[in-house]
Amino acid sequence: MKFIELVESYKDDIVKSTQEIVSIKSVEGEAKPKMPFGEGAYRALEYALNLSKEMGFETKNLDGYAGYAEFGEGEETVGILVHLDVVPEGDGWTYPPYSAEIHDDKIYGRGTIDDKGPAIATLYAMKAIKESNIPLNKKIRIIFGTNEETGWGCMKYYFKHEQAPDMAFTPDADFPVIHGEKGIIAFDLVKKLEKHSCGEIAIKSIKGGNAVNMVPDNCEVVLDVKNVDELEGKLNDFVKKTGYNISMIKENDKVTIKAKGVSAHGSTPEKGENAISYMMLFLGEIINCDCDICNFIKMYNEKIALKNHGENIGCGFDDDVSGKLNFNPGVIKTTDDEIVLSINVRYPIKSSAKAVYDGIRSELEGTGIEVIEDDDEMKPLYVPKDNELVQKLMKVYREETGDNDSEPIAIGGGTYARSMDNAVAFGPIFPGQIELAHQKDEFISIDHLMRLARMYAKAIYELSK
């Protein structure tokens, strides 16, 4: 196919464009005029639209919330939904997270796999289809979002002002085809801190995590301690027993304890190491009083710590379509007045947010802990396997990989597919590949990037027939 040859000829440009857009730190920032999600997200959008214009596509900037590029003719539109924002970079990178350095034919940087690399691959796939002059029966439109990681305000704005495509895919999950996505909710568990009666060890503050949809790789606690040497001994014993990465810094009677974990996507908490849980388990070993903060820690260790499916806190649901519920305590912080634990839950397609909240409230009855719901629930997505969109994308996947046995799957991740009817996720992670989204040292190999560009070109061709 001519368009595949064209894709291959773009290799240097694909790599260069990926490096350039990854170098833009597009974490959500302070809103500014025409930059609703901050300057970084806007700069990434501006870059993508300018690149699209250079390719000869019609473009539109929707007031900084989102944008699109399109070509083709016809009454129907095939959409590709991508996002240009990224989660915070976190700590411990081998290479600077926004330098987009290449090592061993891999481009390293935040967003390389989630979702800037796949977005660039798709854009060049569109260019190849356009320049091959293949007759199309549909318009092809790539939609650039800028707020996927922190609220989806971009898609809400887009669909308020533009008509939805007739069908769409998003390169922001796994292969083969994601035909089901669990429901997503985020909420806070809040405990007022009124009763302070700590004895030998007083907890002054707790702070951990970067984002509710990330497994936290850090947690820090400040303590007032009467016997620092005794505490150090208990810490050393705990680390030896568990293998957890926990250390302490001594400043007279004030001690700072730091726990390190391994970040992972909130939809797969079992793939990370939760630093908040490590810290709370250690605190549970050294405290023994009846103050509010200590009671919260006891509750955490009994009902949350090291449990990834909500099984001890009243929401351990599962179904035959999407499997078990995913439960991720992502952020914790204290003030003088309260302790707040922010949690991200992915509930099974056949379950509901109400069932989750009812189960948790029942388990926490009498603890004084309040469940504060977030209004931004994402309802589950389900597209039948025999749907034309699913069937055509499965055809592309099977032809490219030779894997004729795989079937469409359901996941806990939340993608733009659920923002409209008749949309699914398609890649970019192949079965068996390591999941690097939201983790340190995120990368995409150049071979992977080019393979995506070829597959997405084939997908656009099949869907536009």
Active-site residues, by number, are 85, 148
Q: Determine the Cα angle at 21 with ends 20 and 27, to 5°.
A: 135
* Token pair for 229: 């040497």
Residue from 409, 400, 402, 405 nearest 450 by CA = 400
By the 8 A CB rule, do 191 and 337 touch?
A: no
Q: How far apart are CA 293 and CA 195, in angstroms?
A: 8
Task: Please provide residue 429's backbone torsions phi and psi, each rounded to the nearest 5 degrees.
Answer: -90, 125
Q: Give strand ranges (E) for 88-137.
A: 102-103, 106-108
Q: How far is CA 95 from the centre of its chain?
A: 21
Q: 340: which strand partners?
A: 190, 333
| Residues forming beta bridges with residue 225, ordered by sequence position | 201
Strands in 350-427 per DSSP E: 369-373, 381-382, 409-411, 423-425
- Asked if residue 135 has a cis previous peptide bond (ω within 30° of 0), the answer is no
Among 164, 166, 113, 114, which residue's Cα sits nearest to residue 143?
164
Q: Which of 153, 162, 47 is nearest to 100 (CA)?
A: 47
Distance in angstroms (rounded) separating the CA atoms of residues 40 and 229: 46
Measure the CA–CA gap between 121 and 80, rounded to whole angstroms: 11
